[in-house]
């Protein structure tokens, strides 16, 4: 039995004060990731700061024509919010591709960004893992690495970030609003998660005394031509082997603008502006989609068990862009379950 203390934050300032005062403390929102990690003794916070009752659970329109999504908006509410369904269906689709209805009812927007990798060695405290125990080694590099990264890896860690929501947020160029002891700031989604480098224990650029308060979407939602395509071992309740968030703006069959982000392949949602630039001005056809896929994957490197992901990613990108161009997105596959 590992004891920990529990306190409920009364407001955002109180949450920041409490986390700044105790480096061993952790926020808890829906608890769907943190409690599992505590049960496995991967995370051992001495104090939990419950932020679940803070007033960060609304979705509001911004003056700039976008949306501000509170950090505590549950994944279900986000996916079924009328403005998200209508203006950002790629995001709704990505959220609904994740976890299960029950989990999505509990899981928060901020918690989804902060969820940790699903590398099995990270969860197994009997094995070396640089992310869990810095300097101990990486068991996945010479071990079972079927689900691991093919892009942006380091000799210290080859884990992937498991979120679906974050892949769509990256494609939509969301910004993350945070508050800490030094005040408020926003972080571009592209800079929120980190590559492993020589410090894989740090998943994000959030500072230890900061809390996510909201995620802001810009006005452009790529609603007419989008898809979120997730390839996984089972059709539900499984993390992505590869996923693709694709958005196109078309003039007839010519691509005016494109967004493309990959999940399941790196320590963060993977975007490459050169792949998107290569699509602009091109015809929306298989040849241009394949060229963009090749650009996006040009530095991909497979290992013993995950080399298949390179070709899988290539095909998934082409299929996702084709669905987006045709206006036939991957089904959101769900009616709200009361």
Binding residues (CB under 6 A) for ligand FAD: these are 26-34, 36, 51, 71, 98-99, 103, 106-108, 110-112, 114-115, 162-165, 211-212, 239
Nearest to 262 by CA among 237, 305, 297, 213: 297
Nearest to 94 by CA among 225, 214, 226: 226
Task: State the nearest-atom distance from the C-beta of 9 to ligand SF4, in Å.
Answer: 29
Which CB, 226 or 230, lies closer to ligand FAD?
230
Asked if 37 is part of the footprint of ligand SF4 (rule: CB under 6 A), the reply reads no
Helix (H, G, I), strand (E, B) or coil at 79: helix
Asked if 159 is part of the footprint of ligand SF4 (rule: CB under 6 A), the reply reads yes
Q: Is-contact 288 282, C-beta < 8 A?
A: yes
Task: State the nearest-atom distance from the C-beta of 135 to ligand FAD, in Å.
Answer: 22
Asked if 32 is part of the footprint of ligand SF4 (rule: CB under 6 A), the reply reads no
Neighbours of 7 (CB within 10 A): 14
Task: State the nearest-atom distance from the C-beta of 321 to ligand SF4, in Å.
Answer: 30
HSE value, Cβ hemisphere, 13 Å, CA-based, for 142 = 4
- What is the sign of the dihedral through the CA atoms of 26, 198, 204 and 184? positive
The position carrying tokens 């987006």 is: 324
Q: Which stretch binds ligand SF4 (CB under 6 A): 92-100, 151-159, 245-253, 292-300?
A: 151-159
Asked if 42 is part of the footprint of ligand SF4 (rule: CB under 6 A), the reply reads no
Which CB, 122 or 192, lies closer to ligand SF4?
122
Q: Is-contact 215 169, C-beta < 8 A?
A: yes
Task: State the nearest-atom distance from the C-beta of 150 to ligand SF4, in Å.
Answer: 12
Nearest to 216 by CA among 192, 194, 240, 238: 192
Site for ligand SF4 in 188-247 (CB under 6 A): 200
- Give the residues lining the site for ligand SF4 (CB under 6 A): 117, 119, 121-122, 129-131, 138-140, 148, 157-159, 200
């Amino acid at each position: 039995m590992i004891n920990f203390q529990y306190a409920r934050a009364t407001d955002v300032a109180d949450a920041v004060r409490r986390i700044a005062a105790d480096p061993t403390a952790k926020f808890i929102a829906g608890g769907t990731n943190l409690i599992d990690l505590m049960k496995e003794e991967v995370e051992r916070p001495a104090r939990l700061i419950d932020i679940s009752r803070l007033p960060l659970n609304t979705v509001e329109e911004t003056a700039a024509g976008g949306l501000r999504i509170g950090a505590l908006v549950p994944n279900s509410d986000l996916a079924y919010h009328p403005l998200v369904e209508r203006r950002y269906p790629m995001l709704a689709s990505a959220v609904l591709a994740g976890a299960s209805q029950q989990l999505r009812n509990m899981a928060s927007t901020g918690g989804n960004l902060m969820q940790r990798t699903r590398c099995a060695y990270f969860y197994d405290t009997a094995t070396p893992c640089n992310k869990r125990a810095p300097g101990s080694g990486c068991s996945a590099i010479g071990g079972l690495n079927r689900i691991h990264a093919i892009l942006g890896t380091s000799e210290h860690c080859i884990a992937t970030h498991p979120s679906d929501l974050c892949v769509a947020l990256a494609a939509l160029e969301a910004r993350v609003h945070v508050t800490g002891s030094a005040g408020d700031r926003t972080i571009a989604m592209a800079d929120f998660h980190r590559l492993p480098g020589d410090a894989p224990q740090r998943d994000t650029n959030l500072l230890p005394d900061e809390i996510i308060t909201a995620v802001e979407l810009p006005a452009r939602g790529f609603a007419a031509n989008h898809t979120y395509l997730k390839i996984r071992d089972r059709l539900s309740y499984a993390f992505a082997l590869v996923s693709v968030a694709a958005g196109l703006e078309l003039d007839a069959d010519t691509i005016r603008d494109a967004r493309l982000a990959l999940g399941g392949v790196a320590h963060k949602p993977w975007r490459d502006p050169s792949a998107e630039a290569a699509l602009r001005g091109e015809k929306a056809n298989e040849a241009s989609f394949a060229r963009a896929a090749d650009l996006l994957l040009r530095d991909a490197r497979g290992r013993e068990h995950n080399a298949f992901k390179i070709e899988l990613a290539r095909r998934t990108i082409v299929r996702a862009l084709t669905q987006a161009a045709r206006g036939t997105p991957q089904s959101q596959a769900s009616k709200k379950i009361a």
